[in-house]
Structure 1
Amino acid sequence: MADATPAVSPLRRRMIDDMTLRNLSPATQRSYLHAVAKFSRHFNRSPDRLGVEDVRAFQVYLVSQGISWPALNQTVCALRFFYGVTLNRAEIPERIAYARTPCKLPTILSAEEVVYFLEAVPSLKARAALTTAYAAGLRASEAVSLKVTDIDSDRMLIQVRHGKGAKDRTVTRHISTCS
């Protein structure tokens, strides 16, 4: 019986090893591998046989296809890593330009809208969790993994453990109470 696992090319194996050595998250590794594979398929050539002009042409192609700015920049990061680290061609990454992400102002709820939203939550437990998350500016994943022991109500601190990028941080909010 033949092994069902597809063979990994030496170049792909080297990139995986480079990413593992630098402790890139599994999601980042998948994203980088996907981006480099897509780049290679676009030109139907091994990516180590492509150069900076090919990268530029690929970026132009992606923009013409309506790729989002964050997705384009993730592809740029992948290609910069591939050329700079895996291929050790230090002159190339600095020539691969990031896209400038258009600045958009976030939608900010008024105090009345926030109160109206929170009062609409029927469960007291869910309302307390949402109020804490909103007041502390927590991401959804941070709020979900929050433990009672992470909240220091005496000092008005919240310890966020393994937040974005697996980083810990301390959140402080000075909540004024008006009578």
Structure 2
Amino acid sequence: MDPIEKLQRCLEMSGLKEETCQGYTYKINIFLRTINKETNEITLDDILEYLRHLRYVKEYCIGTVNSYRNAIKYFYEVVLEKQWINKKIPHLKGYNPLPSVLSKEEVIEFIELMPKEIYKVMLYTMYSSGLRAFLLLFMLC
């Protein structure tokens, strides 16, 4: 059976979200095309080199490289049924996405810049009601 077909069959039964399954399939397709080896010949060293290539040659962010690592780990363990060694291919450290949160003073400053009073009332209502996501969207427009 084709390794991608086997991956998809395993993912169907995994309980992972559909977006995760699609992402894993996409990433594994790219990985297999890039390393250009038979699946039974893939080693942890190949995977390490591929992830290093993503990080330092293609300059992918830490979070993206870790997502490729997760997909490849799943493929390696579940589909290829090989033993994964976390110490050999650890998660990259240092990925701490900052939340999109403004300070209270920044929000008030932004609202006060609105040209019409109705906008100010709407934004103060959104902010005080806890609708910060909508407020952020409004600010980006």
TM-score interval, smaller chain? 0.7 to 0.9
Which residue is 1:117 aligned to? 110
One-letter code of the match for 1:23?
G
TM norm structure 2? 0.72
Structure 1 equivalent of residue 8 of structure 2 = 16
Q: Contact 2:40–2:80 at 8 Å: present in 1 too?
A: yes
1:146: which partner in 2?
A: none
Distance 1:133 1:100, change over 3 A: same
In 1, the alpha carbon distance for the partners of 2:105 and 2:125 equals 17
Please state how far the C-alpha of 1:32 moved relative to its aligned partner: 0.8
Aligned structure 1 segments of 4 or more residues deviating by more than 4 angstroms: 102-108, 123-127
Question: What is aligned with 1:100?
Answer: 93
Q: Which has the higher helix share?
A: 2
The total of aligned residue pairs comes to 128
Q: Is the Cα contact below 8 Å between 1:81 and 1:93 reproduced in 2? A: no
Contact 2:111 2:123 in 1 (8 A): no
TM-score (norm 1): 0.59
Q: What CA distance in whole angstroms lies between the structure 1 residues aligned with 2:47 and 2:92?
A: 13
Task: Find out whether 1:78 has 2:76 as its counterpart.
Answer: no
Give distance in 1, aligned partners of 2:95 and 2:3: 35
Q: Percent identity?
A: 19
1:25 to 17, 30, 50: 17
Cα RMSD for the two superposed structures: 2.9
Higher relative contact order (CA 8 A, sep 6+): 2
Structure 2: distance between partners of 1:15 and 1:113: 47
